[in-house]
A and B are shown apart, each in its own frame.
Chain A
Amino acid sequence: MSHHIVDFKNVSFRYPDGTEALRGINFRITHGESVGVVGANGAGKSTLLQHMNGCLMPTSGTVTIGDLTLTGKTRREIRKKVGIVFQNPDDQLFMPTVFDDVAFGPLNLGMDEESVRERVRKALSMVHSLDLRDKPPHHLSSGQKSAVAIASVMAMEPDILAMDEPAANLDPKSRRSLITLLKSFRHSKIIASHDLDLILDVCQRCIVIRDGTVVADGPSAEILTNRTLLEENNLELPLSFQRR
């Protein structure tokens, strides 16, 4: 199924203030793969994710999602395929009630009222949050916010899921249910995180980036056990490999 492919070719990006965030990124993700993106603070993880649906456009190089090359014209089409869950659920949940927020995407897709309600119900049940429907986001706990943020993206039924630090601010139990949820999502997914145990648990493949370039790309089990590589990148072995 070619439409679940993510392909970055020589992608570079420079912010208007001159910061070079990405320098010649190359990788290709095929259908059903789950890929972790790790790296130090400021390595370019979030910038990379924002290229996946055209929130940012590469300064040079090409991003291809399925059969579509990312351009100003294809951006809208691509956003239907790629769902991005951003780092801070307070920014992700911008509508005044949980229902309105989860309905935002489906309504923008032009769906009719009945199907929108059905989508919202389905997405919220998926994250066990149906009873939060009428609450405003500021009455939710961090774990609940993260769950609803994921539901709001899932309601669009994306082919590819991208997440930025999904487990930040979660208590251990919420983190565990997030991991279970991620494992149940069958399409391609890309997860940027400092939580290496989560990556190890959920992703078969791992990409390490530093200063906007890919420095390592391979099976998680190999990369995340390579102490030298990890420490060079301000990272450390996943806790599950650390022995006192």
Chain B
Amino acid sequence: MHMADALLSPAVGTTLWAGTVAVGGYASKKLKAQIDDRMIPLMGVLGAFIFAAQMINFTIPGTGSSGHLGGGMILAILLGPHAAFLVMASVLTVQALFFADGGLLALGCNIWNLGFYPCFLVYPLIYKPLTGGSKNPGRILVASIASAVVALQFGAFSVVMETLLSGKSELPLGAFVLLMQPIHLAIGIIEGFVTAGIINYVRGARPEILDSIAASRPLGAGISLKKVMMTFAVLAAITGGALSWFASTHPDGLEWSVEKIYGRGELPEQKHGIAPVLKDLQEKTAFLPDYNFKPAGNEPKKKEAVPVWPGIEAGTSLAGITGAAIVLGIIVLIGMGIRSFRGRGKG
């Protein structure tokens, strides 16, 4: 399930982007130091493979509906966490651009939800211990199903949290969770079956391929790294969650401090202009009188139950609607004008 721009607040969107960029930067730094050159085209082409594979539907047994591969788990198993995360990120980026799955702001969330959990959480903590390096198809099946289920549960729960923290949806936490988690349990089981099926098929047909990929991928997934990763993951999740919650309950003041905290060093693109401009923009917003979303009081984490939204009436008056109609009319006219002008120029 892809998160969508329209459900996000800027605070949540940028926080998850920051988290994703940080993990992506970490993964590419790690890879760059350890990678075998051979992996570079392999990763890229496997990205295209996952993309193409996701487009193929199959019939889910006993239901008649169709499913498709997610891919995060299989990439992690084949390529190891760092490379898999980058590949997954690139697959989701291309999807966001060509299919508009989710959108570009939500891309940060989607990479996090579908890339971070399978690669850095589930693979080292569930898949590896469960298989224990065994090549037994049964163990691989069990480990794959467990991993895919857990990864998708995390992913689905993140979608819930991101939506709720953004505050654009009225769904209460409980109902939302009930809506999302069971579906993703089913999807996870199927994903696990498919993942194990592919791994086992490849192992049966050309066993040397898996070994040679394993040989050229970065080493050092040992205990210490696992610990480091784990700490990192938990920290990132906590800070990300806490900050975005904090920011969304205090939209005027705190949103952009998130940027400042995450924005040192690891975020190279932040220097090049976007962040400062945005910050400036947002700071100005805070002082403008008609910035009309001010949460009712400062009670933390209380469901906004009271319909006290100053400015809402102003925004939805008859004048507002008249104005919107006129503006849209003008825009349509401009569009048609340009079109007919260009048409004439050509004809």
Chain A residues in the interface with B (C-beta under 8 A): 16-17, 94
CA distance A17 to B209 in the complex (A): 11
Determine chain B's interface SS by DSSP, over half rule. helix
Give 1 or 0 for each of B25-51: 1 = CB within 8 Å of chain A CB.
000000000000000010000000000
CB–CB B41/A17 < 8 A: no
Listed from nearest, the 4 A-B pairs whose CB atoms lie closest are A17-B208, A16-B208, A94-B41, A16-B212
Tell me which residues across on chain A come within 8 A of B41, comparing CB atoms: 94
B206 → chain A closest CB, angstroms: 9
Q: Which A residue's beta carbon lies closest to that of B41?
A: A94
Tell me which residues across on chain B come within 8 A of A16, comparing CB atoms: 208, 212
CA distance A189 to B172 in the complex (A): 72
Determine chain A's interface SS by DSSP, over half rule. loop
Tell me which residues across on chain A come within 8 A of B212, comparing CB atoms: 16
CA distance A16 to B215 in the complex (A): 14
B212 → chain A closest CB, angstroms: 8
CA distance A16 to B211 in the complex (A): 12
Chain B residues 197-252 with CB under 8 Å of chain A are 208, 212
CA distance A231 to B201 in the complex (A): 39
Tell me which residues across on chain B come within 8 A of A17, comparing CB atoms: 208
Q: Which B residue's beta carbon lies closest to that of A15?
A: B208
CA distance A153 to B17 in the complex (A): 40
A52 → chain B closest CB, angstroms: 20
A75 → chain B closest CB, angstroms: 13
CA distance A17 to B212 in the complex (A): 11
A18 → chain B closest CB, angstroms: 10
A95 → chain B closest CB, angstroms: 11
Tell me which residues across on chain B come within 8 A of A94, comparing CB atoms: 41
Q: Which A residue's beta carbon lies closest to that of B212?
A: A16
CA distance A94 to B208 in the complex (A): 25
A44 → chain B closest CB, angstroms: 20
Can you give 4 A-B contacts (C-beta < 8 A)?
A16-B208, A16-B212, A17-B208, A94-B41
Q: Which A residue's beta carbon lies closest to that of B208?
A: A17
CA distance A94 to B41 in the complex (A): 9
B213 → chain A closest CB, angstroms: 13
Give 1 or 0 for each of B130-174: 1 = CB within 8 Å of chain A CB.
000000000000000000000000000000000000000000000
CA distance A94 to B48 in the complex (A): 13
